[in-house]
Amino acid sequence: MIILLFILYLFLFILLLALFFLSIPYKYLLYYSYTENLNFKMSISTFFFSFAYSKTGQKESTYIKVFSFKKEFEKKSAKKDSEENKIKAKIKETVKEKAKKEKKKKKKKSGIPFSIIRYENIKHIFQLLIDLLKMILPKHLKLYFLIGLEEPHLNGWLIASYYSLKGIYPKLPITMDIDWEKETYESNGELSGFIIPIQLIFRILIFIFSVKTIKIMWKVFKYKRSK
């Protein structure tokens, strides 16, 4: 009896702990800069935990931080990376060849019944995507471009288009300058926002167990069974 109570309390504790971690907001950040090379940093963090990955030139760094404890991961050697890339490329080629063969076999019959491709069902799926996007949209977005094209008239057309767009959308989070002297392509930007995992999970579960989704899945199931 004591063992069962212990297991029950332990299960409840783990459940509450999981709900806590899923309910707190996680801040995400992405920063990039481009001159001759692309450098960037991305991170996700909360009040006690953070994970970050950055690339500056040939230098890469990854770390996980929990409270005051910080663990950095060493970068693999260039030789090892090149060997791994070759192996990955071979695997991708093999997978592509298998996929092509499977597609040829399945060309005769479609994987889904055409009866489910209706406006109501498409709207139902798009509504899910829109709701999920609203939950993860960045709260802060800032982009900067310094561009110099080879032909001066193209620079004039580009900056005119930018200010026309800026006139329509005054809060447009994009700043642009033109380099009239030489051909230039430079940019930097950052975006950040918050994600609450339990909101995403809850919205997906509502979609999965909705009447429309169940009807769609039932039609697909019957179609598969009839093959």
CB 184 within 8 A of CB 146: yes
Alpha carbons 23 and 17: distance in angstroms, whole number:
10
Alpha carbons 13 and 5: distance in angstroms, whole number:
12
Residue 185's contacts (CB-CB under 8 Å, 6 or more residues apart) are 34, 146, 147, 148
182 residue type, one letter: K
| Residue 43, strand partner residues | 29, 52
Mean pLDDT, the chain, rounded, equals 86
Report which of 34, 50, 61, 43 is spatially closest to residue 184, judged by C-alpha positions. 34
Poorest-pLDDT segment among 90-94, 135-139, 160-164: 90-94
Alpha carbons 197 and 205: distance in angstroms, whole number:
12
pLDDT of residue 77: 45
Most confident among 1-15, 57-71, 97-111, 178-192 (mean pLDDT)? 178-192
Report which of 63, 69, 24 is spatially closest to residue 47, judged by C-alpha positions. 24
Is the confidence at residue 81, as pLDDT, over 70? no
pLDDT of residue 103: 58
More confident residue, 95 or 57: 57
Is the confidence at residue 84, as pLDDT, over 80? no
Is the confidence at residue 58, as pLDDT, over 50? yes
Domain boundaries, the chain: 26-94, 113-227
pTM (predicted TM-score): 0.72
Q: Give the pLDDT mean for 36-55.
A: 91
Terminus-to-terminus CA distance in the chain, angstroms? 52
pLDDT cut 70: percent of the chain above it: 87
> Residue 181 has what DSSP assignment?
S
Cβ neighbourhood burial of 170 (10 Å; 0-12, 13-18, 19+): exposed
Report which of 25, 11, 50, 55 is spatially closest to residue 37, judged by C-alpha positions. 55
Alpha carbons 40 and 34: distance in angstroms, whole number:
9
Is the confidence at residue 59, as pLDDT, over 90? no
Q: What is the 3-state secondary structure (H, E, C) of 20-57?
A: HHHHCCEEEEEEEEECCCEEEEEEEECCCEEEEEEEEC
CB 87 within 8 A of CB 103: no
Give the CA count within 13 Å in the CB-facing half-sphere of 201.
8
pLDDT of residue 126: 94
